[in-house]
Structure 1
Amino acid sequence: MRKVEVKPYNETWFSMFEEEANELHEIFGPEIIEIHHIGSTSVNGLQAKPIIDIMPVVRDINRIDEFNTAMYTIGYESKGENGIFGRRYFQKGGDNRTHHVHIYELDNPEIERHLAFRDYLRVHPDGAKKYGDLKEELSQRFPYEIESYIKGKDQLALEIERKAVAWYRSLRA
């Protein structure tokens, strides 16, 4: 059974992202346009489950399934779209997960959502603290109930996401 653990920010998370991003560049080559570190481990100072979320942006999402065997050789399990149309999702580490890879084709709206959420929390420390504190509290209340943990943070995450997307779009207007 997987335990929900939220840890204080760890500076090694960025180097773990870089290391894995290099591996992904090796596997996918020119199919990758860019790779982003997303999720809570990408926000300096934010408490997080110590799982590195990586978002490669690719030219053609339909080609990604061709790389499942190569991903398996470096420890990833392919989960297909895993509930989000147009995504390819991979997990590494089994019950002791270390990395999640969320692959999207260029111009998928999920890319903006992820980057807006990350960037908003990076420049709004009060929001990041509120989000981190809630995650810590939920991990204490539901240490073996990942669904309850996720459901418990949904409302705040959606509230932050709405603000984040509006803020992100205003920067690009």
Structure 2
Amino acid sequence: MIGLKSGTVKLVQHQEEWHENAENVISVLKQLLGDTALDIQHVGSTAICSIHAKPIIDIAVAVHDIKDILPYIEVLKQHNIFFHEGAVAGEVFFVMEDGDIRTHHIHIVKRNGTGWSNYISFRDYLNANPEKAMMYDEFKRKSAVRFADDRKRYTASKQEIIGQLLSEANM
């Protein structure tokens, strides 16, 4: 299963199809963005094998400068990848969706910036530390019940634990 109604929260068990789907989207992005994309990675909870996640694939695209992506807005739109202005501080944000069902979040971040580092460190730390992944999973599942119809509050509720895990990952 990939996709979730915009604004809602529903967590499902990890699914292997998420990795294959991410690889397919990464391949398309590489073709569309060429050398502007310095690196493209599957990130977020769907990239952490042992936890529940919203079935929305997160992809991080590293660029020299986030403004480098601006000339690609129209070509991405032609491939159903839509720009969302001001959605995430410090990055350029795109979504793939079918009506009100979101399937992918595409995060354009500076290669040597904090955003890129955080996406990669968080994913790698939780994949390498199953006990930390389970702690995060338990927290997420409780928050998902509390904020099932309010994705913004769900996301905000996770900031403290994400910060704690990132601090551990960067030690």
Task: Say whether the fold is shared (TM-score over 0.5).
Answer: yes
Superposition CA RMSD, Å: 1.6
Q: 2:148 aligns with which of 121, 143, 147?
A: 143
Q: Within 5 A, what are the aligned runs for 1:157-168?
A: 157-166=162-171
1:51 equivalent to 2:73? Answer no
| Structure 2 CA distance for aligned equivalents of residues 153 and 56 of structure 1 | 23
Distance 1:83-1:17 versus aligned 2 partners, 3 A rule = closer
Identity of aligned residues (%): 27
TM-score by length of 2: 0.89
What is the number of equivalent residue pairs in this alignment? 165
Distance 1:22-1:144 versus aligned 2 partners, 3 A rule = same
Q: In the alignment, which residue of structure 1 is the partner of 2:137?
A: 132
Amino acid in structure 2 at the alignment position of 1:158:
G
Structure 1: 5+ residue runs without aligned partners?
A: 167-173
Q: In the alignment, which residue of structure 1 is the partner of 2:93?
A: 89
TM-score by length of 1: 0.88
- 1:61 positional shift: 2.6
Give secondary structure in 1 for the equivalent of 2:170: helix
| Structure 2 CA distance for aligned equivalents of residues 59 and 2 of structure 1 | 31
| Structure 1 CA distance for aligned equivalents of residues 111 and 156 of structure 2 | 29
Amino acid in structure 2 at the alignment position of 1:116:
S
User: Would the aligned equivalents of 2:7 and 2:152 in 1 still touch at CA under 8 Å?
Assistant: no
Amino acid in structure 1 at the alignment position of 2:151:
I
Q: Within 5 A, what are the aligned runs for 1:69-88?
A: 69-85=74-90, 87-88=91-92
| Structure 2 CA distance for aligned equivalents of residues 49 and 160 of structure 1 | 19
